[in-house]
Amino acid sequence: MSDNDAADRPPRLDRRQLVGALGGAVAAPFLIRRAQAASAVNIGVILPLSGANAQFGVNSRNGIQLVADQINAAGGIKSLGSARVELVVADATSTPTQAATVAQRMITQNRVAAILGAFASSLTLAISEVTERRDIPLLTMSFSDQITERGFKSVFQVVAKASVIGAAQFDGTLAIAKKAGTDLKQVAILFEDTAYGTSQAGGLRKAAAKAGVQVVVDEGYPLGITDVTPLINKLRASGAQAVFPVSYLNDSLQIIRVMRQQGLTFPAIGGAAGYVIPDFKSGLGEYAEGILSISPANWDQDPALTDTFSKRYGYFMVHEALEHAVCLDVLVQAMEKAGKSDPASLREVLHGTRFEGGWTKVMTGGAVQFDAAGLNTLAEPLMVQWRGKEPVTVWPERFAKAPPIWKA
């Protein structure tokens, strides 16, 4: 009924519409001009910027922002008519469903050419389901083996897989100990019992079995643990010669502190995450010195590049910032080479190219090359050791910047 009434009435311009139309007319030239000059490429960045992993997300964003600014300052992407890199950053929180929703929105609304993210493997896996369906390239530094083991065509992993990292954590330790004249016979594994801790502990366990080393303590603990004393009491009684704790920050600080309280000075070899960030040092002070950890990459492989980061943000370039920087650099190199930013040609170039120069120089092998599954075949995990304010690469020897110190 009311519809009919409206239809009968002659069309009339009310005041609100008039203002809108006038406003539009005034703004139109500016909008059009902006659209022309803005030959920009939208690149999606999805990271945990709130929630338990926010710190790692912020570090990653800093790394990506740095590279984007460097590229834009140098004149943008030349083969695309000097197009600017326009980052579309979104918070994945810490829930996979939210990460997937954000990815969906970026693809439909922001028309992103590719997506970078999302630090935590569980988030990356959720995003990859969306990007694979929509054929959008996803570049990541998450560790999980599953990422490149599902036969996906549009996912690219710039770091080594979790199982490789876990094995390297063990093998590197064994090699360093041997060099110092210690034969490791008994070790302990402590891990936080979410996906990251359990999967990496699995890699450690396997490597230990292979090397014939006995695991005398093998305990998971809840992530929000408030009293690690019972764990350390067990550790002290176990006769372990080294301990492999796989933890985020809160638990890593507690474990090292209580170990030191009880006078346990045998080496602790962390599993990246909580052990290779500046807060680990600020939380432990001098007790951080000499702590070893595995890391998928380290700033000291090319200080000339990573110094730009520490100058801008005031702390050393943590590995997640660095690997995300590499993701963006590789993506831009691919666009430069393709001369297009459509997903199909990007995917083709990403699969078939050995990327050199730029930020890839920080990675082991000094380059990035993806295999058919999207895994960077040149990436190798590094052993790092805290020296003063930064972790320094100590193993494998050809990448080492300082000799490892082993205090048995």
To the nearest whole angstrom, how small is the minimum distance from the Cβ of residue 60 to another protein?
Answer: 15
The full 3-state SS of the chain, as one line of letters, equals CHHHHHHHCCCCCCHHHHHHHHHHHHHHHHHHHHHHHCCEEEEEEEECCCCCCHHHHHHHHHHHHHHHHHHHHCCCEHHHCCEEEEEEEEECCCCHHHHHHHHHHHHHHHCCCEEEECCCHHHHHHHHHHHHHHCCCEEECCCCHHHHCCCCCCEEECCCCHHHHHHHHHHHHHHHHHHCCCCCCEEEEEEECCHHHHHHHHHHHHHHHHHCCEEEEEEEECCCCCCCHHHHHHHHHHCCCEEEEECCHHHHHHHHHHHHHCCCCCCEEECCHHHCCHHHHHHHHHHHCCCEEEECCCHHHCHHHHHHHHHHHCCCCCHHHHHHHHHHHHHHHHHHHHCCCCHHHHHHHHHHCEEECHHHHHCHHHEEEECCCCEECCCCCEEEEEECCEEEEEECHHHCCCCCCCCC
Q: 259 or 378, CB closer to another protein? A: 259
Q: Which of 210, 301, 294, 310 is nearest to 246 (CA)?
A: 294
Q: Does 91 bind another protein (CB under 8 A)?
A: no
To the nearest whole angstrom, how small is the minimum distance from the Cβ of residue 274 to another protein?
Answer: 9
Q: Does 142 bind another protein (CB under 8 A)?
A: no
Q: Does 193 bind another protein (CB under 8 A)?
A: yes
Q: 234 or 340, CB closer to another protein? A: 234
By CB under 8 A, name the one of 69, 146, 205, 220 that touches another protein: 220
Q: Does 215 bind another protein (CB under 8 A)?
A: no
Site string for another protein, 272-291 (x = CB under 8 A): -------x--xxxx-x----
By CB under 8 A, name the one of 157, 254, 333, 364 that touches another protein: 254
By CB under 8 A, name the one of 11, 29, 212, 224 that touches another protein: 224
Give the count of residues interacting with another protein (CB under 8 A).
36
By CB under 8 A, name the one of 101, 104, 182, 250 that touches another protein: 250
Q: Which part of the chain contacts another protein (CB under 8 A), choosing from 66-74, 133-141, 232-240, 307-315?
A: 232-240
Q: Does 403 bind another protein (CB under 8 A)?
A: no
Q: Does 2 bind another protein (CB under 8 A)?
A: no
Q: Does 260 bind another protein (CB under 8 A)?
A: yes
To the nearest whole angstrom, how small is the minimum distance from the Cβ of residue 191 to another protein?
Answer: 11
To the nearest whole angstrom, how small is the minimum distance from the Cβ of residue 135 to another protein?
Answer: 34
Q: 131 or 254, CB closer to another protein? A: 254
Q: Does 198 bind another protein (CB under 8 A)?
A: no
Q: Does 227 bind another protein (CB under 8 A)?
A: yes
Q: Does 255 bind another protein (CB under 8 A)?
A: no
Q: Does 263 bind another protein (CB under 8 A)?
A: yes
Q: Which part of the chain contacts another protein (CB under 8 A), choosing from 60-68, 166-174, 231-239, 381-389?
A: 231-239
Q: 134 or 234, CB closer to another protein? A: 234
CB 258 within 8 A of CB 232: yes
Torsion of CA 228, 230, 236, 241, to 10 degrees: -50
Residues that bind another protein (CB under 8 A): 50-52, 54-55, 193, 219-222, 224-227, 229-231, 233-234, 237, 249-250, 253-254, 257-258, 260-263, 279, 282-285, 287
